[in-house]
Each structure stands twice: as C-alpha cells, then as structure tokens.
Amino acid sequence: MFNCLRIRFSVPLISSLLLAVSFSEAGIVSGTATFDGTVPTMKAIKMDSDPYCALQHTQSLFKETVIVGENGSLKNVFVYVKSSEELDAMIENGEITAPTAPVVMDQKGCHYEPHVFGIMVGQPLEIRNSDQTLHNVHAMPKQGGAFNIGMPGKPEPWSINKAFKVKEIMVPIKCDVHSWMSSFAGVLDHPFYSVTDAQGKFEIKDLPPGDYVIEAWHEKLGTSEQTVTVADGAPVAISFVFTKPAAEASEA
Amino acid sequence: MIKKFGIIPALAGTLFASDSAWAAKYTAWWLPDNVSTFGTQVDKTFYIILAITTVIFFLVEATLLTFLIKYRNREGQKAKFIHGHHTLEIVWTIIPAAILVWLAFYQRGSWAEIKQNFPAEKDAFVVETSGQQFEWHFNYAGPDQQFGTADDIETINQLHVPVEKPVLLKISSKDVIHSFFLPEFRLKQDAVPGLVIPAWFKPLKTGVFDVACAELCGLGHYRMRGFLNVYTQSDLDTKLSELAQETEEEDIWE
Amino acid sequence: MGSHAERKQSFISKYVFSKDHKVIGIQFLLTSFVSLLIGGALAMAIRWQLAYPWQEVPIIGKWLFPESGGTVTPEFYATLVTMHGTVMIFFVIIPFLVGAFGNFLIPLQIGARDMAFPTLNMLSYWFYVPAFIVAMTGFFVEGNAAAAGWTSYPPLSVINPQGQDFWLISILIVGSSSLMGAVNYVTTIVNMRAPGLGFFRLPMTIWALLITAILILIATPVLTAAGIMLLFDRTMGTCFFIPKGLVISGEPYAHAGGGQPLLWQHLFWFYSHPAVYIMILPAMGIASDIISTFSRKPLFGYRPMVYSICAIAGLGCIVWGHHMFQSGMNPVLGMTFMTSTMLIALPSAIKTFNWLGTLWGGKIHFTSAMCNALAFVSMFVIGGLSGIFMAATNVDIYIHDTYFIVGHIHYVLFGGSMFAIFAGIYYWFPKMFGRAMNEFWGKVHFVLTFIFFNGTFFVFHILGVGGMMRRIADATQYTYLQHLQPLNVFASISSFGLGLVQVIFVLNFFSSLFFGKRAEANHWKANTLEWADTPSPPPHGNFDVIPTVYRGPYEYSSPLVKEDWLPQSRKLAETAGAGRH
C-alpha cells in the first residue's frame, strides 16, 4: 500500500543512484523511540533454577521486556528500512553483500548481550558462551533455517559461528535451559537498521538518496512505520511513539 | 526495589556455596545414602540379589576354572564319553527356578508399596511436576490449597517438600519423555506427555538433594538438574509463604 | 545332481552379486568389520567425552568438530550414543551372527548345496548394504544423524532433525534384509537337511539359527510397522505417538493429538527384546559347538540345550514390558512382566550348567577359538546375573536407565555375542579361506581383549549403582556423581585399550588370508559335515556327494573308534550307528 504514496523516480535518477555505491553522498535517518503511558515495572529474574547463574550476579537482573528511561525513552526498539525500491534494485544487482565481520552475541551471567540486534542474511553470528554452564541457543525463525545448538560451559569463553539464511523480522532466540533468556535478531538483506539505546536513540547511516519505509519494532509494544525521503547527504529526523498495547490496556 | 530482590540471588548463592559441604557426603563408589521410607526395602532387595548372584558367580567361575585346569589337554588322557545326566538336569533346573520364583514373590510387596499404593491426597503434600526441555517445573497449590487457581506457586528446578510427610507428585511432561529421578530416594518415574502419572515418597531427613533426568530428552539431558529441598514443616511454611508473596508481585504489567 | 563343477562366472556374479551362500556369508563378515570399525570409533568418542567432558578430542577433534573448537557438542553426544547403539546392534552383531555365520554355516552344516532361495539370499545382503549407507548418510545432513537414542522414543524422535528419517528408513531396509534371510533359513533348515539328519542330530549352531530366524519372523514385522508409523508422524503429521497439547520450546506442536508415546515403546520392545535373543542365541550355538569340539567330549545335555533355546525364544516374546517398568505402564502389568522375566533367566542358567558339564572330564585344547568361547561362557554369566537385578521391579526403579543397564547389555552383547563372534571367526576361518589364523596372535588378542573388556564394562555396574544415568554427556554436573569421575576415567582408558587391541585381530585376520597356515579339510578334527565331508574352502555346491548322516554332531571320544572324533557322516561297519542321537 505504500507504493501509492511513493514518488516515482525518473529513469536517469535511478541509474545515478545505482552508481552511488560508495554512499559518499548518503544520508542519515535518526531519531528516538519513546513510550507514552504508565511505565510498567519489570520483575526481577529468579535464577535459582541454576545456582551458577545466580552466583554471577550480586544484584538481580530484571526482565528486559519494556525498558523505559528518562522522558519515556524506549530501549531495544529495532528500527530498519522495511521497503524501498532503490534497495530492492541494489540487492537484486548484488551490490549489497553481507559483511564478513561477525555480529557478536554473548551469553554472560545467563543473559544475552545484546537483547535485540540486527544482522544480515549470511553474515556470521558469533555466539559466545562466557559462562561455565550449559546454554542452548535455540533460534526459531518461521521461514526456515532454525537451529538449536548446545554450548556447554568451558573454563574459557568460547564461541560458535552461525548464520541466518532468510530475512525475517524478528527471529526469537532463547535458551531452553534458562527459560528467562531471550534475544531477538532482525535478519535483513541490507545493512540499514539500528537498535535504540538507553536514551531511545537510533541512527541509520549511509542511506542512498531515495524514499524509504522505516519500521520500528518492539517485542511487546508492536510495530509502527513511517515513510521518509532522503535527499543527497541531508539528515532526516523521525520519532516513534509507542503506547500500551490494547490487550494490556483492557486488563488494566 | 532492587535491594529487596537482591536477596534472591544471595539466597541461591549460599545454596551453591554449601555445595562443597553437600558434596562431602558422597564418597563411596556405591549406593548413595537412602533418605526415603521405602528406599530401605529397595536396598534390601538389592543386597539379597547381590548376595545370591555373587555366590552363584563365584561357584560357576570357580567350577569353570577348576575344570579348565583339571581337564586341560595332557598326554594319554582320554575324555569321558558322556551325553548328559538326567537327575543333574532336573536339579539345576529346579534350584534356580525356586530361587527366581521366591525372588519374584519376595519383592512384590515393595513394588506395590512404591508404585501402586499411593497416599491419599488429603494426607500428602501434593506437587504437580512437569518436565520440559530442559527444566523441571513444580506447581504447588498455594495458600488456598487448590490447584489451578491464581495463587498457585510455580518454581523451576527447585522442589520444596516437608520432611516425614508423604509427598505425592503428579508427574507429566510438556514436550518429550523425561524421567524424574531422585537417586537418594530410590524413586524414578518417567514423565510422559499426555499422561499424569502419580509417584510418591516420604523423606526421612532434611537437606538438599539432586533431582535428575534419567531419560534422554535432547541436548540438555545431561544437565536437566533440579534440587530437592526437604524442610521441617515450619521451615517449609515460611518458604512457601515467601514464594506466595513473590507470586502476588508477579501481577505487574510488563 | 552332483554337477557342481565350477562354472565360468564373471567377477561380478562370483564375488559381488553372488548367489553362493558362502560368498554371501563372507560378504556379511567383511562388511560387518567396516561397521564394527565405525561403531567402535563412535564408542571411543563417547568414552573420551565421559572421561574428559568438553575437552578437545585429540588428533581428529579439530577436523570432526571445527565449529566447537574440537570438542564434542551436547547434541552430537546424543547422536554418538544413538548411532553407536544402532550400528553395533543392527549392523554389527546381527549381521555377524545371523548374516555371516548363518549364511556360511547353514547349508554346510546340514549337508545342502546352497540355501533354498539363493536369489533372496543375495538380496538380503544387498538390502543390508544400502541400509548401512543410508544410516551413515545421516551424519552428513542438516542437524546430523539421529539423536533420540537407539530406542528412538517419541516425541523426541518425532521433533528431532531429519537425521531421524534416515535412521528410520535404514531400519526399515535392514529389517527387510533380516526377514529375507530368516525366511530362507527356516525353509532351508526344515527342508534341505541331508539324509539321516533329523532335528535332534543338528549342531547347536543350526538349532540356534533356526529359532533365531523364527524370532526374526515373529518380531521384525512389528518393528517395521512401528517404524512406518513413526515415519508418518514425522513426515505427514499423523500423530500416532503424539498426544494432545504438546508444546515444544514454548510453541504448540501443530495438529498434536490422539497419539500415545507409550505405544511406540510397546511396539519397539516387542521387537527389540527378542532382538537381544536374536543376538545371543546364535552365539550360544557357536559356543556349544566350539566347547564340545575342543573338550573332545559330547555336548552335555543336548536335548535340555535345545529345549532351553526354545524356552528362551518363547519367553523372550513375553518379557518386553520389563523395559517399561518406569514408563508409566500399569504397575500391575509390571508384576506380570517381572515374573516372566525372572523365569527367562532359567534356560540361560541351564545352558551355562551344561557347558560346565561339557568341560567336566574333557580333554581341553586351548585354541584361540576355545579361549574366546570360554570367555563367552564366563562373561555371559555376569551379563545373565546382572539381569536379575533389573528383573526385580523395585530394584529396577533405582537402576533403570543407569549405567548398570549399560554394563549389563555390554556384558551380554560384547562379553557374550562379540566373544562368540571372535570364537566363531577363529574356528571357521580355515573353512572359509583355506588358511588358519595365527594362534599366537589370536591368544595375545584374546588376553588383552578380555582384560580391557572387563576394565571397561565392569566399572559400568559400579557407576550404575552410584546412580549415574545413561546417555548423559557429562556426569560431573551432578553433585552426587562427581566423586565417581575417576571410575569414568578408568573405564575410558580401558576402552581405548580395548579399541586399540582390535588392531591385532584385524591384522591377524588379513595377514592370515594370504600367509596363514594352510588348513586341512577337517582342520579341528571335528564331527560336523562342513569339516568332515568337504575340503577347505568348500567348492561351489559344497559337497561332491551329499553326505548321509548316521549320528549326532558331538560324538567325540567315542569308544567305537580309536580316534577321538567320529564324524556324523561316517558309516561304521559293525553297528548300525552309535550315539544316542
């Protein structure tokens, strides 16, 4: 449906875009995600089911479902380019390849670091186990390519490299040994994504000029999208505001 | 808030720290000390069979060795031309048969006690036990003594029970087959999805004991480990009310 | 008849797609060696992991497990135990005993020119090979080979990756191979015995193989049916074994409902318990032949021995429930199965006493074959006695699914079946290849194997009594098991020794093929037809003239003749035959 909103580009403009591989004149889409409403309290995670985990923390870890900071800033929102004809063409022409540098996901203190991350199809995901206890990394994409690997605790941190095969928003990753552990991977066929930090800030860099549908995804609060136009080198600022989902609102 | 919850890992920490003292009670390469009422009967049967089989083993092997030495091939020796002995056959059929049938009848009572004669629910401490890859979930009735209500208490891998009172477990599984194994209580019962299978035991003393999974359930089978905490009734009440309070606090929008 | 002269045959029809039972027997023998090597290698990896959990596997670790830095992974450990069991049971012991010895010996020992259905016989081998290839292909698919245990209990075996499909297909094919062999064995033994060779003059090996074949015919179709149901559950969502409300890792299992996981266990054990006897009865037969021959004395209690085999087979079909005492099966059924299980110890005991009776008053020659057969008897005693612990339902509550069971099965299948296989190979090697194996190296292999075998597997009983569960990848995770770790290390080091000394056997086997001492026709001065009436190796068609049988197979040291052997086929002038059989 967003196709109808989009301004059609002329043929010469598209070809000039295709030449802009170096992204020298690329733009930046940045902004914040915020939460509007009563801030929920996150429960402390009970780790007594594996005493090793409990021993790794002098203070409780809290669930990371909804983390709201000052002024309603919302952490762990995955912001990414959902659709764009320019990008599709570039992907089709093989101009975007997955980086060989891995994305690192660490398991430390029975907790995934990071909780939300983006990764490209085929890009190595270095899964590290810094704990001396077993974790199994159970990635459950719906589109295929699920994996479930056991990573026993060894005296030294160690890692295994995996990769996702199909793009998917979002692939849940969990540990069946420690059921509180959860992480989400945004698997894309391009590198234009960002995850909001504690201040709720995100920044998608190096975008070639063009029209983009940007979506923000939150594990509990749902998704929301906006269309932006990036001109040569000009930064674009947008913001996303999330509210309590309807189901929870009716409960309250 | 943080301060309050900080106590939970601290508690678990002391539990783990006492691990070395706990481990110290295991030294013998043999049966771990029994702590359940019916365990003594299991151990007794074990020792009776051990005695019988040991005697038979040494008799057979000694006879074998004696024959091998005595009837080894020597010059001028001729083997006996004998095809069998009717009476001998009857003797060595009847005697083992009698022993085996006696054994079969001897241990029936113990089996029935463990797997057939369950304590009544009103006299027992009931816990719904469920296996899943790779955790044991324990569900307690909570303050209202009713299962399936909002105040049910759930713990993961930590089973809390009273000493010297029958504990009735209703064992099930969410996914694959697991086997609920309490080595020191001589209790084992498979947890089968789709079935709720009762099992019971009565602890003889307080302490912390291992809960193990004895049926291959996937990659985490080897450490699908839980802890059985046996308390005095008053300590258990304290523990459960603590847990109940935590359960109440869980009703936070998240 | 009698026109058995060597026909011109191409290499392929003579050695590859051969219909000659002797060639097929040798094909089974050599292929089983390959399986044994693979199954043994898997066992070494298991023992490495248990002794040194999560440490890098030496030498080959980096190559086998590049992802994890050379260590076994938890999911691969499950594959290891699954495939070790599968390979050893379906592709080593059954093919050795039933495939190799069954094919080679049945026509020769009953005085027939070949099997009743030579083409079916060839097919039985050529189903076995692809079955093995399919099983091995599992190692190369996504998610690795089957990892639900050799018992493949659903729902785990339904939700596991696709390696399980390869396992199931492989089992279906190898089951068909077994069935073809079994039909052939029964037909051949019933119909094609030489003149005068009544049932009670058959060598014990033949009796055992006959009963084994009948067991295969009764039990294997049940496993096949169950296997197809499980395959349907995996590929078509039939849910024969999947109950309602199944939730896998937080996700509801699609269209779950209407099934019962315990159904698989009943069907599986209805085959797999008799399968234990399929794996031990031929071993008993082989041991009986060898012990009688090298004691130079008739087998003690021939008829009780035969009745025992029949009793084992009969009772063997009604004891499967003893694998399920803790499964949630009705505890009353537990009582029933316990009683039949207690009783099945009896025929085994009778056989043991009769072997002792055979040795009593004999003139015992300690050949390599005899040493291994004696090891069979003494180790089988341990395997049999440890079975009584499990038969007692209340003790089983504790030792079920522990290393006590693992120790028990290894005393039966290695201590029993494998020693009998070694014995059989030393004994019939001269008949198969016309040369004898080296006796000195045979004894070196025997002594070392015997020591390392006990060092490895006796420890398992103690681990089991200590409460160590089977199929766990790392026993140090449990407080109550940590102090047992030195035992695991000891068992593992012994097992590496056990694996290593098998090199002696393999070298002896293959060097003897070319350089072994030339064998005489009746190399061991034995009575049975394969030794007395045909050269080593026997020609195509086996016998110049089909022999006539005058007596039983064990008339050693008969007063009627001055030698200490009296072949079944020798006609004595003065009397109308001797011996009671």
> The domain that contains B77 carries what CATH number?
1.10.287.90
Tell me if B183 sits within 8 A of C319, measured CB to CB: no
Domain co-membership, B100 together with B161: no
Q: Is residue B21 part of a domain?
A: no
Instruction: Using an 8 Å CB-CB cutoff, list chain B residues near C302.
Output: 83-84
Q: How far is C263 from chain B (nearest CA, A)?
A: 12
Residue C453 to residues C292, C376, C439, Cα–Cα distance (Å): 25, 12, 20
Q: How many CB pairs under 8 A join A and B?
A: 100
The whole-angstrom separation of Cα C137 and Cα A252 is: 56
The whole-angstrom separation of Cα A132 and Cα C80 is: 23
pLDDT in tens, B79-125: 999 999 999 999 999 999 999 999 999 999 999 999 999 999 999 99
Instruction: Using DSSP bridges, classify how beta strands A125-129 and A158-162 pair: parallel, antiparallel or unpaired.
Output: antiparallel
Domain co-membership, B168 together with B54: no
Q: What is the pLDDT of residue C5?
A: 46
Q: What is the CATH number of the domain that holds B230?
A: 2.60.40.420
**pLDDT tops 60 at residue A113:** yes
Tell me if C263 sits within 8 A of C241, measured CB to CB: yes
Q: Find which of C50, C54, C160 to mutate to test the A interface (most A CBs within 10 Å of its CB).
A: C54
The whole-angstrom separation of Cα B108 and Cα B103 is: 9
Tell me if B136 sits within 8 A of B129, measured CB to CB: yes
Instruction: Using DSSP bridges, classify how beta strands A135-139 and A168-174 pair: parallel, antiparallel or unpaired.
Output: antiparallel
pLDDT in tens, A228-250: 988 877 788 999 999 887 765 55
Q: What is the pLDDT of residue B17?
A: 43
pLDDT in tens, C193-244: 999 999 999 999 999 999 999 999 999 999 999 999 999 999 998 999 999 9
Q: What is the pLDDT of residue A88?
A: 87
What average pLDDT does range C460-480 have in this prediction?
94
Q: How many CB atoms lie within 10 A of CB A43?
A: 18
What average pLDDT does range C521-543 have in this prediction?
94
Domain co-membership, B47 together with B161: no
- pLDDT-derived band at B250 (thresholds 50, 70, 90) equals low
The answer to whether the pTM exceeds 0.95 is no
Q: Is residue B204 part of a domain?
A: yes
Domain co-membership, B244 together with B161: yes
Residue C576: closest CA among C565, C563, C560: C560
Q: Is residue B76 part of a domain?
A: yes
> In percent, how much of chain A has pLDDT > 90?
55
Q: How many CB atoms lie within 10 A of CB B42?
A: 28
pLDDT in tens, B146-166: 998 888 999 999 999 999 999
Domain co-membership, A109 together with A82: no
Structure tokens at A10: 């002329």
Helix (H, G, I), strand (E, B) or coil at A218: strand
Helix (H, G, I), strand (E, B) or coil at A174: strand
Q: What is the pLDDT of residue A247?
A: 63
Q: Is residue B136 part of a domain?
A: yes
Domain co-membership, A137 together with A176: yes
Q: What is the pLDDT of residue A22?
A: 45
Residue A177 to residues A134, A148, C160, Cα–Cα distance (Å): 7, 12, 17
Helix (H, G, I), strand (E, B) or coil at B168: strand
Whose tokens are 């045979």? That residue is C442
Q: Which of A190-204, B19-33, B36-50, B235-249 has the lowest mean pLDDT?
A: B19-33
> If interface means Cβ-Cβ distance under 8 Å, which residues of chain A face chain C?
134, 136, 138, 140, 148-154, 158, 160-161, 174, 176
- pLDDT-derived band at C61 (thresholds 50, 70, 90) equals confident
Domain co-membership, A39 together with A56: yes
Domain co-membership, B164 together with B133: yes
Structure tokens at C142: 């996504």
Q: What is the pLDDT of residue C227?
A: 96
Domain co-membership, B68 together with B157: no
Q: How far is B12 from chain A (nearest CA, A)?
A: 5
What average pLDDT does range C6-12 have in this prediction?
69
The whole-angstrom separation of Cα C444 and Cα A206 is: 74
pLDDT in tens, A2-23: 333 333 333 333 444 444 444 4
What average pLDDT does range A22-51 have in this prediction?
82
Instruction: Using an 8 Å CB-CB cutoff, list chain A residues near C54.
Output: 152-154
| The last residue of a domain, from among A151, A167, A189 | A189
Q: What is the torsion angle, in degrees rounded to the nearest 10, for the CA atoms of residue B121, residue B123, residue B125 and residue B130?
A: -20
Q: What is the pLDDT of residue A86?
A: 84
Q: How far is A39 from chain C (nearest CA, A)?
A: 27
Residue C287: closest CA among C477, C513, C97: C97
| The last residue of a domain, from among B115, B149, B166 | B115
Domain co-membership, B239 together with B129: yes
Examine residue A114 and say whether the peptide bond preceding it is cis (omega within 30 degrees of 0): yes
Domain co-membership, A119 together with A44: no
As a residue count, chain A comes to: 252
Q: What is the CATH number of the domain that holds A182?
A: 2.60.40.420
Domain co-membership, B94 together with B138: no
Q: What is the pLDDT of residue B23?
A: 62
Examine residue B224 and say whether the peptide bond preceding it is cis (omega within 30 degrees of 0): no
What average pLDDT does range A115-128 have in this prediction?
94
pLDDT in tens, C334-389: 888 999 999 999 999 999 999 999 999 999 999 999 999 999 999 999 999 999 99
- pLDDT-derived band at A251 (thresholds 50, 70, 90) equals very low
> In percent, how much of chain C has pLDDT > 90?
89
The whole-angstrom separation of Cα C517 and Cα C506 is: 17
Q: What is the pLDDT of residue A24?
A: 46
Which domains, ranges and CATH numbers included, belong to chain C? 24-245+252-278+398-532 (1.20.210.10)
Domain co-membership, A212 together with A87: yes
Instruction: Using an 8 Å CB-CB cutoff, list chain B residues near A65.
Output: 254
Tell me if A111 sits within 8 A of A146, measured CB to CB: no
| The last residue of a domain, from among B64, B87, B115 | B115
Q: How many CB atoms lie within 10 A of CB A121?
A: 17
Q: Is residue B254 part of a domain?
A: no
List, in sequence order, every residue forming a beta bridge with C567; answer none if it has no partner. none
Number of domains present in the structure of chain B: 2
The whole-angstrom separation of Cα C130 and Cα C133 is: 5
**pLDDT tops 60 at residue A219:** yes
Helix (H, G, I), strand (E, B) or coil at A142: coil
Note which residues in 216-235 of chain B have CB less than 8 A from chain C. 216-223, 225
Q: Residue C295 CA to chain centroid, in angstroms?
A: 25
What Rg value do the Cα atoms of chain A yield, rounded? 20
The whole-angstrom separation of Cα C404 and Cα C396 is: 10
The whole-angstrom separation of Cα C461 and Cα A192 is: 60
> In percent, how much of chain C has pLDDT > 70?
97
The whole-angstrom separation of Cα C102 and Cα C189 is: 11
Residue B190: closest CA among C379, C459, C329, C311: C329
Residue C422: closest CA among C358, C372, C348, C383: C372
What average pLDDT does range A110-127 have in this prediction?
94
Report the mean per-residue pLDDT for chain C.
93
Q: What is the pLDDT of residue C515?
A: 94
| The last residue of a domain, from among B115, B140, B172 | B115
Tell me if C233 sits within 8 A of C260, measured CB to CB: no
Note which residues in 137-156 of chain C have CB less than 8 A from chain B. 147-149, 153-156
Range of the domain at A158: 97-189
Nearest CA in chain C to B172: C328
Nearest CA in chain C to A178: C249
Tell me if A136 sits within 8 A of A175, measured CB to CB: yes
Q: What is the pLDDT of residue C4?
A: 46
DSSP 8-state assignment for residue C241: S
Number of domains present in the structure of chain A: 2
Q: Is the dihedral of CA C317, C319, C323, C325 positive or negative?
A: positive
Angle at C331 between CA C328 and CA C337, to 5 degrees: 105
Q: What is the pLDDT of residue B1?
A: 36
H/E stretch holding C502 reads: helix C485-515
| The last residue of a domain, from among A145, A169, A189 | A189
The DSSP code sequence of C2-50 is ---PPPP--HIIIIIS---HHHHHHHHHHHHHHHHHHHHHHHHHHHHHH
Domain co-membership, A103 together with A181: yes
List, in sequence order, every residue forming a beta bridge with A212; answer none if it has no partner. A228
Domain co-membership, A66 together with A113: no
Q: Is B15 in Cβ contact with A51 (below 8 Å)?
A: yes
Instruction: Using an 8 Å CB-CB cutoff, list chain C residues near A132.
Output: none
Domain co-membership, A225 together with A173: no
**pLDDT tops 50 at residue A148:** yes
Q: Which amino acid, A38?
A: T
Q: What is the pLDDT of residue B10?
A: 40
Contact partners, residue C138, CB within 8 Å, separation at least 6: C83, C144, C145, C146, C163, C166, C167, C170
Q: Is residue B32 part of a domain?
A: no
The whole-angstrom separation of Cα C173 and Cα A122 is: 38
Which chains contact B through at least 3 pairs of Cβ atoms less than 8 Å apart? A, C
**pLDDT tops 50 at residue C41:** yes
Helices C419-433 and C21-51 meet at what angle, rounded to 10? 150
Q: Is the dihedral of CA C362, C366, C371, C373 positive or negative?
A: negative
**pLDDT tops 70 at residue C393:** yes
Domain co-membership, A179 together with A247: no
Q: What is the pLDDT of residue C143?
A: 86
The whole-angstrom separation of Cα A228 and Cα A212 is: 5
Report the mean per-residue pLDDT for chain A.
85
| C377 in contact with chain B, both atoms CB, cutoff 8 A | yes
Q: What is the pLDDT of residue B6?
A: 38
Instruction: Using an 8 Å CB-CB cutoff, list chain B residues near C356.
Output: 60, 63-64, 67
Q: Out of B19, B223, B254, whose CB is closest to A65?
A: B254
Q: What is the pLDDT of residue A248?
A: 58
Q: What is the pLDDT of residue A4?
A: 36
Instruction: Using an 8 Å CB-CB cutoff, list chain C residues near B210.
Output: 478-480
Domain co-membership, B141 together with B109: no
Domain co-membership, A35 together with A71: yes
Contact partners, residue C288, CB within 8 Å, separation at least 6: C203, C204, C205, C208, C299, C305, C355, C358
Residue B177: closest CA among C326, C155, C269: C155
Q: Is residue B24 part of a domain?
A: no
Tell me if C545 sits within 8 A of C194, measured CB to CB: no
Instruction: Using an 8 Å CB-CB cutoff, list chain B residues near C353.
Output: 88, 92
Q: What is the pLDDT of residue A244?
A: 82
Q: Which of A130-144, A148-162, A165-179, B236-250 has the lowest mean pLDDT?
A: B236-250
Q: What is the pLDDT of residue A214?
A: 93
What average pLDDT does range C109-117 have in this prediction?
95
Range of the domain at B167: 121-249
Residue C529 to residues A77, C111, C129, C420, C546, Cα–Cα distance (Å): 84, 6, 30, 21, 10
Domain co-membership, A164 together with A179: yes
| The last residue of a domain, from among A159, A189, A219 | A189
Nearest CA in chain B to A250: B253
Interface pTM (ipTM) of the complex?
A: 0.92
Domain co-membership, A90 together with A199: yes
Domain co-membership, B83 together with B97: yes
Nearest CA in chain B to C73: B219
As a residue count, chain C comes to: 581
Q: Is residue B20 part of a domain?
A: no
- pLDDT-derived band at A85 (thresholds 50, 70, 90) equals confident
Angle at B84 between CA B78 and CA B89, to 5 degrees: 140
Contact partners, residue C175, CB within 8 Å, separation at least 6: C220, C223, C224, C227
Domain co-membership, B233 together with B155: yes
